[in-house]
Chains A and B, each alone.
Chain A
Amino acid sequence: MSAVLESHVTERQASGATWLAILQLGLREGRRMVLSPVVLLVLGFMALMGGVNVAPQLTDPSLPSRSEAYDLIFFIFALYTGLIFYIACHLVASSARRTKAEGQLQASPLSSRARSAGLCVGVVIGPGLVAVVGMVTLALLGNDITWVYGSQQPVGIAELVQLALTVIGAGMFAVMCATWLRFPGSLPLGLVILVFGTILMSDAERAPINTWPWFAPYIASPDWIDDAWTLMGSQAWHAVYLAGLCALAFCAVMLREREGRARWLVISAGVVAVTAVAGAVQL
């Protein structure tokens, strides 16, 4: 009986059901990433440290001004949010390996690749949503500000998109590390590569060519990085380049499984080409 019923399910319907399941899994994984104890712990810790630091100086218990709030949110997103979500996403992506539940998950209806795709969708839905909310808040706050970072104007939309993409990119990189490097040290190893790699590429003085920092997986805003190279390229194309890096991390996750690897190699080659073009055009 079941065989007869299954024969009515077309390949398209099965594919649609799989994508729906991936989306549902993505929603669940995104929620796990945002509500990870790491995120809540670090945010609570930052609030505590900030409170300890600010409390004795409070003579006037008024709310911070728009420019102060703008500065604080920008600072937290530019320095810490990517790192925090890297750790949270890695812990979620490696939880099955760490709890030795991979064998049980093999018996679930979703394939290993579909579960990896669900993790990547989770990064976009969870940390991505947090980043979008932060960027919308910055855009609204920055609308009326004339004083940000000395005499500079608030950053533009392209730079805000870059900031959101660095958060999503850190999450994607974490999933990629957890998928490919399946050993206990992959979390610190990936973080060290991410941090020191970004510092190395952003260092204009040591770069082989003066445009090299544009290829770093980081924002290129002249309001944040006080270097001459930030004034030379296109902020919008740098955002496209960062989106390309996020897509490349997704392709790398998909390439982990042997099944269908040839198709993903072709897709990855296309993404590499688009990212390379965006990287060249941004200069």
Chain B
Amino acid sequence: MTDTVAAPLAGIGRVQRGLTPYTPRLTRWPMLLAGIAGSWLVVWWRAGDVTTPDGAVWLMRSVSALAAVAVVFALDDPSIDTTRSLPASRGVLMRLRFVMGAVALAVALAPATVVALMHLDTGSTVLGVMLEVCVLVVLTASAALVLQRQFGISEPAQFMVLMVVGFAMAAQLLGQRWPLLVPPGPQWAAAHWRWAGVLVVGLLVLVWQLRDPASRPLRRSLAW
């Protein structure tokens, strides 16, 4: 690599390294902690009533809805108006935010997962529940990034409760035609193909929103 190319890249690296320590400080930790506390409280409140696979699935659904709304606060960036004009890719910062969100999600879901695994007997049921959790998290994250990148809302996580309420409403209203919230049983596999379809749509939106607008080639265009 020639010096003319290496020097600006080193400068970009310095800017990214300079921004990295500020990212955890700017994160909305109280909401992540509130999400974890709320998820644990729900498990503490309802774990005693879970005696069937259906009960375990509903416990996971309730807790994952709560956790999905909370962990998306890791993507909030109050400094975005200032930092978006800096000569640095947002990839490093976004990766850091995703790691923080993933850690918060894992901690929030751990007790509910333990309770659910005690009552879910088949591997396909466990996989299905995990797929539902992924869909909720991907949908809220992609919707938050759409608001942040397309509409200039620096802290979109507060609106994501609307996304979860809307998704629950759609699942209830479309329950007869395309059931999603089904109990473990004969409808489980068909319903989870639909969940997988929703996941694909969510992932496409997420990848589209993670694209760095400053770089053209697809290989370098994801903000990862």
Partner-binding segment picked from B17-25, B131-139, B159-167, B216-224: B159-167
B105-154 interface with A by 8 A CB criterion: none
Please state if A185 and B31 are interface contacts (CB–CB under 8 Å).
Answer: yes
Closest Cβ–Cβ distance, residue A50 to chain B (whole Å): 6
Given contacts A42-B169, A45-B170, contact A188 B69 (CB under 8 A): yes
B152-183 interface bits toward A, Cβ cutoff 8 Å, 1 = contact, 0 = none: 00010111111001100110011111000000
Closest Cβ–Cβ distance, residue B197 to chain A (whole Å): 15
Residue B34 is within 8 A (CB to CB) of chain A in the complex: yes
- Give the dominant DSSP class at B's interface: helix
Q: Which listed residue (A45, A53, A185) contacts B176, Cβ 8 A? A: A53
Residue B38 is within 8 A (CB to CB) of chain A in the complex: yes
What is the CA–CA distance of A52 and B165 in the complex, to the nearest angstrom?
19
Please state if A200 and B34 are interface contacts (CB–CB under 8 Å).
Answer: no
Closest Cβ–Cβ distance, residue B3 to chain A (whole Å): 44
Please state if B173 and A49 are interface contacts (CB–CB under 8 Å).
Answer: yes
Closest Cβ–Cβ distance, residue B61 to chain A (whole Å): 14
Closest to A47 in B: B173
Given contacts A53-B176, A53-B177, A87-B162, contact A183 B30 (CB under 8 A): yes
Please state if A196 and B42 are interface contacts (CB–CB under 8 Å).
Answer: yes
A178-216 interface bits toward B, Cβ cutoff 8 Å, 1 = contact, 0 = none: 000001111111011000100010000000000000000
Residue A248 is within 8 A (CB to CB) of chain B in the complex: no
Please state if A49 and B169 are interface contacts (CB–CB under 8 Å).
Answer: yes
Residue A61 is within 8 A (CB to CB) of chain B in the complex: no
A16-57 interface with B by 8 A CB criterion: 38, 42, 45-46, 49-50, 52-53, 56
Please state if A188 and B158 are interface contacts (CB–CB under 8 Å).
Answer: yes
Please state if B166 and A45 are interface contacts (CB–CB under 8 Å).
Answer: yes
Closest Cβ–Cβ distance, residue A93 to chain B (whole Å): 13
What is the CA–CA distance of A186 and B161 in the complex, to the nearest angstrom?
11
Contacts of A49 in B (CB 8 A): 169-170, 173-174
Please state if B28 and A184 are interface contacts (CB–CB under 8 Å).
Answer: yes
Please state if A53 and B174 are interface contacts (CB–CB under 8 Å).
Answer: yes
Please state if A188 and B161 are interface contacts (CB–CB under 8 Å).
Answer: yes
Of B34, B70, B158, B174, chain A has the most CB atoms within 10 Å of the CB of B158
Closest Cβ–Cβ distance, residue B56 to chain A (whole Å): 18
What is the CA–CA distance of A252 and B166 in the complex, to the nearest angstrom?
30
Contacts of B195 in A (CB 8 A): none
Given contacts A52-B177, A53-B177, A184-B31, contact A191 B161 (CB under 8 A): yes
Closest Cβ–Cβ distance, residue A185 to chain B (whole Å): 4
Closest to A188 in B: B161
Please state if A46 and B174 are interface contacts (CB–CB under 8 Å).
Answer: no
Of B161, B174, B175, chain A has the most CB atoms within 10 Å of the CB of B161
Contacts of A192 in B (CB 8 A): 38, 66, 69
Contacts of B159 in A (CB 8 A): 187
What is the CA–CA distance of A46 and B76 in the complex, to the nearest angstrom?
29
A44-86 interface bits toward B, Cβ cutoff 8 Å, 1 = contact, 0 = none: 0110011011001000000000000000000000001001000
Please state if A184 and B76 are interface contacts (CB–CB under 8 Å).
Answer: yes
Please state if B169 and A56 are interface contacts (CB–CB under 8 Å).
Answer: no
What is the CA–CA distance of A179 and B160 in the complex, to the nearest angstrom?
20
Closest to B159 in A: A187
Please state if B169 and A45 are interface contacts (CB–CB under 8 Å).
Answer: yes
Contacts of A56 in B (CB 8 A): 177
What is the CA–CA distance of A38 and B66 in the complex, to the nearest angstrom?
20
Q: Which listed residue (A42, A184, A200) contacts B166, Cβ 8 A? A: A42
What is the CA–CA distance of A80 and B170 in the complex, to the nearest angstrom?
12
Closest Cβ–Cβ distance, residue A9 to chain B (whole Å): 42
Contacts of B31 in A (CB 8 A): 184-185, 188-189
Contacts of A87 in B (CB 8 A): 161-162, 165
Please state if A52 and B30 are interface contacts (CB–CB under 8 Å).
Answer: no
What is the CA–CA distance of A11 and B162 in the complex, to the nearest angstrom?
45
Closest Cβ–Cβ distance, residue A3 to chain B (whole Å): 45
Q: A87-B161, A184-B28, A184-B31 are in contact. List 20 more A-B contacts (CB 8 A).
A: A42-B162, A42-B166, A46-B173, A49-B169, A49-B174, A52-B177, A53-B173, A53-B174, A53-B175, A53-B177, A80-B169, A83-B165, A87-B162, A185-B73, A188-B31, A188-B70, A188-B157, A188-B161, A192-B66, A196-B42
15 interchain pairs (CB within 8 A)? A38-B162, A42-B166, A45-B166, A46-B169, A49-B173, A50-B173, A52-B174, A87-B162, A87-B165, A184-B73, A184-B155, A185-B30, A185-B34, A185-B157, A188-B158
- The interface of chain B, by Cβ under 8 A from chain A, is 28, 30-31, 34, 38, 42, 45, 66, 69-70, 73, 76, 155, 157-162, 165-166, 169-170, 173-177
